[in-house]
Amino acid sequence: MKALVTGGGGFLGRYIVEQLLERGDMVTVFARGEYPELEKIGVTLVRGDLQDDGAVTQVCAGMDVVFHTAAKPGIWGAWDSFYAPNVTGTQHIITACRVQRVPRLVFTSSPSVIFNNAPQEGCDESVPYPATYENFYSHTKALAEQMVVQANSEELLTVTLRPHLIWGPRDAHLLPRLIDRARSGKLVQVGDGTNNVDITYVEDAARAHLLAADALQPGSPVAGSIYFISQDAPVNLWDWIYNLLNRLAIPRIKHRISLRVARAIGVAMEWAYRTFHLSGEPKMTRFLASELAMSHYYDISRAKRDFDYQPQFSMEAALEKTLAYLR
């Protein structure tokens, strides 16, 4: 199979690339950066930007499937900085697939597209999009997700996956930032510490993409569908964080604040960053406060049923592999 992976040099994308290569597929990566380590393992690397519709159309030529993982993540930034790559970039991918007659498109989304600032416990894919969003990433990913679902047709079969809080070896964002804050004494527990969340080990998240792509056939229930992906084992967020820090010999978090206080701080910080055009991102936002204090875990029975997704790693096995990398 000839597969294109957008963002193949990123965290999730690279694991998808490696799993495709392991089973003998031919892989092309479309990315903005240079990744000589990918070329060394047999990947065709094409440098380009999702904003360049001509480049996107050209790289899709001859592909059997496109895995669209590239996106701008984050909790803060200008609307255009999220809209351009996440929405316009996705539209370019859809158009290119149609022009080049690519039969399958697998899109990486996020459960945050349905987060409505309330606890979500065991939700399935029927939960609607909220009326408003508290961050541009979730909003633009929701717009892109809807475009992908609507693009599904006999000529272009599409599927959307929503892996939740991906973590594991080579993570350059989620765990490193958490650990850095803890080591510097700046990590604060938000809420009462009883919230449960889904987290997804990166190798299982990647495997889910391959399973979904293989099941994406005419007449399959996978075509045009959306799926939550996780380890199917929600964790108590703060117990999990405390265990991680303890295993890394990092002192325990000393300070706690309520969700109400954290959201008030988020309101103030968001106002200051918008008003004074401050660089970087606020240490607290309304969205981040809610994510840290509320439960958010999801029902993955649909993925189990439609393309036989089952996590291959237990939470402890995944943690051991990750700790070895972090150390």
Report yes or no on 279 lying in a domain. no
For 277, counting Cβ atoms within 10 Å of its Cβ (0-12 exposed, 13-18 middle, 19+ buried), the class is exposed
Report yes or no on 71 lying in a domain. yes
Question: What does pLDDT average to over the chain?
Answer: 97
pLDDT band at residue 205 using 50, 70 and 90 as cut-offs: very high
Report yes or no on 316 lying in a domain. no
Report yes or no on 307 lying in a domain. yes
Q: List residues bridging with 228 in a β-sheet.
A: 162
pLDDT band at residue 62 using 50, 70 and 90 as cut-offs: very high
Q: Which residues are catalytic?
A: 137
Report yes or no on 261 lying in a domain. no
Span 43-63, mean pLDDT? 98
For residue range 242-252, list pLDDT tens digits in order.
Answer: 999 999 999 98
**Number of separate domains in the chain:** 1
Report yes or no on 172 lying in a domain. no
Residue 3, SS3 per DSSP: strand
Q: Is the dihedral of CA 276, 282, 288, 293 positive or negative?
A: negative
Domain ranges, residue 136: 2-166+199-230+296-311
Report yes or no on 56 lying in a domain. yes
For residue range 255-301, list pLDDT tens digits in order.
Answer: 999 999 999 999 999 999 999 999 999 999 999 999 999 999 999 99
Span 203-228, mean pLDDT? 98
Report yes or no on 264 lying in a domain. no
Q: Which residue has the tokens 């804050």?
A: 181
Residue 203 maps to which CATH number?
3.40.50.720
First to last CA, the chain: 37
pTM to 2 decimal places: 0.97
Q: List residues bridging with 200 in a β-sheet.
A: 166
